[in-house]
A and B are shown apart, each in its own frame.
Chain A
Amino acid sequence: MMHYMLLFSRQGKLRLQKWYTSHSEKAKKKIIRDVMTMVLARKPKMCAFIEWKDLKIVYKRYASLYFCCGIEQQDNELLCLEIIHRYVELLDKYFGSVCELDIIFNFERAYFMLDEFMLAGEVQETSKKNVLKAIAAQDLLQEECDEPKSLLEELGVISTGLE
Chain B
Amino acid sequence: MALVRVKGVLDHVLDKNLQDLVRGIRNHKDTEGKYISECIEEIKQELKQESLVVKANAINKLVYLQMLGYDISWAGFNIVEVMSSPKFTFKRIGYLAASQSFHDGTDVIMLTTNLVRKDLNSTNTYDAGVALSSLSCFMTGDLAHDLANDIMVLMTSTKPYLRKKAVLLMYKVFLRFPDSLKPAFGRLKEKLEDPDPGVQSAAVNVICELARKNPQNYLSLAPLFFKLMTTSTNNWVLIKIIKLFGALIPLEPRLGKKLIEPLTNLIHSTSAMSLLYECINTVIAVLISISSGLQNHATSVQLCVQKLQILIEDSDQNLKYLGLLAMTKILKTHPKSVQAHKELIMQCLDDKDESIRLRALSLLYGMVSKKNLMEIVKKLIVHMEKAEGAHYRDELLSKIIGICSQNDYRFITNFEWYVSVLVELAAHKGMKPAQGRAIANQLLDVAIRVQQVRRFAARQMSLLLRNHTFDKQRGGGGSAGLVEVLYAAAWICGEFAVCLAGDEESEDARRATLEAMSLPYVLQLPGEVQAVFVHNQVKLYANLLLAESDAEERVALTTELLTRLEQFVHSEDLEVQERAVCAHQLLKCTAKALRQAAASKTAAIFDVGDVATEDGAGSTAEADGDAVIDRVAKELSGLFAGELNPVAPKAQRKVPLPEGLDLDAWINEPPAPPKSEFDEPVKRKSGKSSGRKKEPEAAVSATVGASASGATNYSSSDPTVAWGGASGGGFEQKEYH
Contacts and interface: CB of A to CB of B under 8 A. Distances in A.
Nearest to A58: B318
A124 B9 contact: no
Given A163-B52, A163-B87, A138 B164 contact: no
Contacts of B355: 46-47, 49-51
Interface in A52-74: 74
B19 A74 contact: no
A155 B15 CA distance: 13
B201 interface: yes
Contacts of A89: none
Contact of A146 (B18, B89, B133, B239): B89
A76 B274 contact: yes
B9 A156 contact: yes
Given A46-B354, A108-B63, A130-B198, A155 B103 contact: no
B318 A22 contact: no
B333 to A, nearest CB: 19
A73 to B, nearest CB: 10
Chain B interface residue bracket vs A = 35 or more
Max count, chain B CB within 10 A of own CB: residue among A15, A108, A111, A120? A120
Contact of B322 (A20, A50, A78): A78
A124 B22 contact: no
A29 B239 CA distance: 33
A77 B318 contact: yes
Interface residues of A, number: 58
Given A14-B67, A46-B354, A78-B277, A124 B165 contact: yes
A52 to B, nearest CB: 11
A125 interface: yes
A116 to B, nearest CB: 8
B86 interface: yes
Nearest to A72: B212
Interface string B192-211: 00000110011001100100
A17 interface: yes
Given A77-B318, A157-B5, A22 B277 contact: no
A47 B67 contact: no
A23 B6 CA distance: 43
Nearest to B176: A22
A79 B212 CA distance: 18
B559 to A, nearest CB: 61
B73 interface: yes
B198 A126 contact: yes
B171 interface: yes
A23 B317 CA distance: 32
B505 to A, nearest CB: 51
Contacts of B538: none
B503 interface: no
Contact of B202 (A19, A124, A156, A163): A124
A131 to B, nearest CB: 10
Given A29-B69, A157-B5, A127 B87 contact: no
Contacts of B164: 124-125
A114 B40 CA distance: 27
A57 B28 CA distance: 33
Given A119-B132, A123-B236, A162-B86, A48 B318 contact: yes
Given A19-B137, A78-B274, A122 B92 contact: no
A31 B314 CA distance: 32
Nearest to B3: A157
Interface string A73-86: 01011110110000
B104 interface: yes
B273 A46 contact: no
A146 B89 CA distance: 8
B60 interface: yes
A134 B161 contact: yes
A82 B212 contact: no
Given A115-B133, A145-B87, A49 B318 contact: yes
A95 interface: no
A17 B66 CA distance: 10
Contacts of A154: 53
Nearest to A32: B69
Interface string B74-105: 00000000000111110011001001100111
Contacts of B105: 24
Nearest to A144: B88
Contacts of B137: 19-20
Interface in B32-60: 51-53, 60
9 contacts: A20-B137, A74-B243, A79-B236, A79-B239, A108-B18, A111-B96, A126-B236, A142-B88, A163-B85
Interface of A: 1, 14-17, 19-20, 22-25, 29, 32, 43, 45-51, 74, 76-79, 81-82, 104-105, 107-108, 111-112, 115-116, 119-120, 122-127, 130, 134, 137-138, 141-142, 145-146, 154-157, 162-163
The 5 closest A-B pairs by CB, nearest first: A78-B274, A47-B317, A47-B321, A115-B133, A120-B136
Interface of B: 2, 5-6, 9-10, 13, 18-19, 22, 51-53, 60, 63-64, 67-69, 71, 73, 85-89, 92-93, 96, 99-100, 103-105, 124, 126, 129-130, 132-134, 136-138, 140, 161, 164-165, 168-169, 171-172, 197-198, 201-202, 205-206, 209, 212, 234, 236-237, 239, 243, 246, 273-274, 277-278, 281, 317-318, 320-322, 352-356
Given A22-B104, A48-B318, A49-B322, 17 more contacts: A1-B209, A14-B67, A19-B137, A47-B317, A49-B355, A76-B239, A78-B273, A105-B22, A108-B18, A108-B60, A108-B93, A119-B133, A130-B198, A154-B53, A156-B51, A162-B87, A163-B86
